[in-house]
A and B are shown apart, each in its own frame.
Chain A
Amino acid sequence: MSTQGWDDDQALLADLGDAWREVAPVAAALTARAHAAYSWRTVDDDLLLASLRFDSAVEPVTSSRAGGDGPRILVFSSTPLSMELEVLPDQIVGQLVPPGIADIVVETEAGPAARVRSDERGYFLISPLPASPMRMRCETSTGRLVTDWVSL
């Protein structure tokens, strides 16, 4: 198959119709949720956005910390603060880099789902697993950070 047929208006419209009808019901069902996503927009110049830089679910793990069956590891990084998460079946073990005490809030679409404080080595524990999608917001003595949204 190629683009042959797209020269003809009727054929092009028929193809477009196939594409449209396959996805329109799901797209329509998602509309209210996708509109509400906008209410999570943060307007805060001082807030660091930590992007998802590594995910062991899609990238090969070379470290000995986790083999193929080990916990999923997510790394969110910004300058100067990063966050690493190990996603276990019933909890998340997290660490802030550089280490330090911080107040951490887990956010889901329904609102804040958990609040924890990291210890001086930067470790924190979240249990049970929050709903997906979720993100972390954290405040340390040196700055504030919010991660990308992820589904667990």
Chain B
Amino acid sequence: MRRICRVHPRLSLPTHPTQRVVLALRRVEEVSVDDEQAPIARLVTAANRGDQEAWRELVARYSPLLVSVIRRFGLSRAETEDVAQTVWLRMVEHLGALREPHALPKWLITTGRREAMRHLASGRRDWPHDPQQDTWPSVPSDDEGPDEALVRAERHEALLAGLAELPGRQRELLIMLMVDPPLSYTSISERTGIPVGSIGPTRARAITRLRQTPPMLAYQTEVEGLSRSAKGGRP
């Protein structure tokens, strides 16, 4: 915000053509610098003003987290989609109330959990499922107990919430790197426009950044706090 204020007075005086070019370049710089900031608050504000692209970007960034939150309640795939869609529909009308950058993930997680619980409790579940139609990819293994499943679900939520907050290029690259079977750097470069030689460094920066996102920091603080108290309050 401070940066924008500094540029604005000059923008109001575009007298000479060269100066206009310089100013245009400055604005490009501003945009790319802005891309390094967590874009969520800006997307929420834009979507609330009627920007459909901003809404689509929010959906792309947060659908994986929302699905992950609902998934842990053991709903079928079709039920999960319906519950997730109920949350998205409701969010459209609640955008105006989500001005804080981190209000959105919190709202999604809370509403997703609550709606999944409502669905479970409403007695309208479409059992029995056809297991052939309804299989999830890599369902947690049967030998995983409830505690392990919970820990795993919380880890996954922290990771997906963190991923959603990364700048566009970093997020895109990490998603490409997770494709199974793995893509070659050449093919990733073709799809993302990131030069092959920059993929390694961009990947390293993205991962460092991911560790520092608020959801990842919050999760790690919580887990460290728990393990410390489990060890009897080690100093």
Chain A residues engaging chain B, CB cutoff 8 angstroms: 1-3, 6, 9, 12-13, 15-27, 29-31, 33-35, 37-38, 40-43, 49, 55, 57-58, 72, 109, 132-133, 135, 146, 148-152
- Which residues of chain A are near B118, meaning CB under 8 Å? 55, 57-58, 150-151
Which residues of chain B (67-125) have a CB below 8 Å from chain A? 67-68, 71, 77, 80-86, 88-93, 95, 114-115, 117-119, 121-124
7 A-B pairs besides A2-B227, A13-B207, A35-B55 with CB distance below 8 A are A1-B152, A20-B178, A23-B68, A24-B64, A30-B63, A72-B123, A151-B118
| Contact in complex: B177, A37 (CB < 8 Å) | no
Question: CA of A30 to CA of B151 in the docked complex: distance in angstroms?
Answer: 26
Known: A9-B204, A13-B178, A21-B137. A151 touches B155 (CB 8 A): no
Question: CA of A27 to CA of B64 in the docked complex: distance in angstroms?
Answer: 5
* Residue B20 at the chain A interface, CB threshold 8 Å: no
Known: A12-B210, A18-B138, A19-B156. A30 touches B204 (CB 8 A): no
Known: A21-B180, A109-B85. A6 touches B220 (CB 8 A): yes
Interface size class of B (residues with CB under 8 A): 35 or more
Partner of B159, one of A15, A24, A41, A149: A15
| Contact in complex: A34, B136 (CB < 8 Å) | no
- Which residues of chain A are near B151, meaning CB under 8 Å? 1
Distance in Å: Cβ of B209 to nearest Cβ of chain A:
11
- Which residues of chain A are near B55, meaning CB under 8 Å? 35, 38
Chain B residues engaging chain A, CB cutoff 8 angstroms: 47, 50, 52, 55-56, 59-60, 63-64, 66-68, 71, 77, 80-86, 88-93, 95, 114-115, 117-119, 121-124, 136-138, 148, 151-152, 155-156, 159-160, 163, 174-175, 177-178, 180, 203-204, 207, 210-211, 216, 219-220, 223-224, 227
Partner of B121, one of A25, A38, A41, A57: A57
Partner of B174, one of A13, A49, A55: A13
- Which residues of chain A are near B82, meaning CB under 8 Å? 132-133, 151
| Contact in complex: B223, A2 (CB < 8 Å) | yes
Instruction: Using CB atoms, name the residue of chain A closest to B92.
Output: A41
Known: A19-B156, A20-B160. A58 touches B121 (CB 8 A): yes
- Which residues of chain B are near A2, meaning CB under 8 Å? 223-224, 227
16 contacts between A and B (CB under 8 A): A2-B227, A9-B204, A16-B210, A19-B68, A23-B67, A26-B80, A27-B67, A30-B84, A31-B60, A38-B56, A40-B93, A58-B114, A58-B121, A109-B85, A148-B93, A151-B122
| Contact in complex: B180, A132 (CB < 8 Å) | no
Partner of A34, one of B63, B124, B175, B211: B63
| Contact in complex: A17, B122 (CB < 8 Å) | no
Question: CA of A148 to CA of B174 in the docked complex: distance in angstroms?
Answer: 35
9 tightest A-B CB contacts, nearest first:
A19-B156, A27-B63, A149-B89, A57-B121, A17-B178, A23-B67, A133-B86, A37-B88, A34-B59
